[in-house]
Amino acid sequence: MSHHEIGMKTRRKVLGDAHVTRAEASKTDFDAPFQDLITEAAWGHVWSRPNISLRERSMITIALLAALGQDEEVAMHVRSCRNTGATADDIREALLHVAIYAGVPAANHAIKIVKDTFAEMQAEKGAA
């Protein structure tokens, strides 16, 4: 199995079929090489490694994205925790590390995003 195939399988497992199907459907000639790159490199090489769990990778990813101020990506990866097993407690612990190592403003902003995302997820669950 190629790294692209492995990556697509892991990407679907973490982000969910609906998210990946939407991303693939909106792919154009312009961004197709980028989508292939992240599928192979991020999902096929890094996220698919056996050394740490998907739960741990979620925690690391959320912390890094929060530290970098990547708001939309934080929310997307919080949603993916349903599939990786990372809990609200896990996310809180990761954001406490962000506060100490990347700054209180970054963590504070990410906490707001996480709370909003949790509320949206709860509302979606109640509407289903």
Average pLDDT across the chain, whole number: 97
Per-residue pLDDT of 59-72, as tens digits, reads 999 999 999 999 99
Burial 51-80 (b: 16+ CB within 10 A, else e): eeebeebbbebbbbbbbeebeebbbbbbbb
Per-residue pLDDT of 99-123, as tens digits, reads 999 999 999 999 999 999 999 999 9
Q: Name the CATH superfamily housing domain 52-128.
A: AhpD-like (1.20.1290.10)
Domain ranges, ordered by start, for the chain = 1-51, 52-128
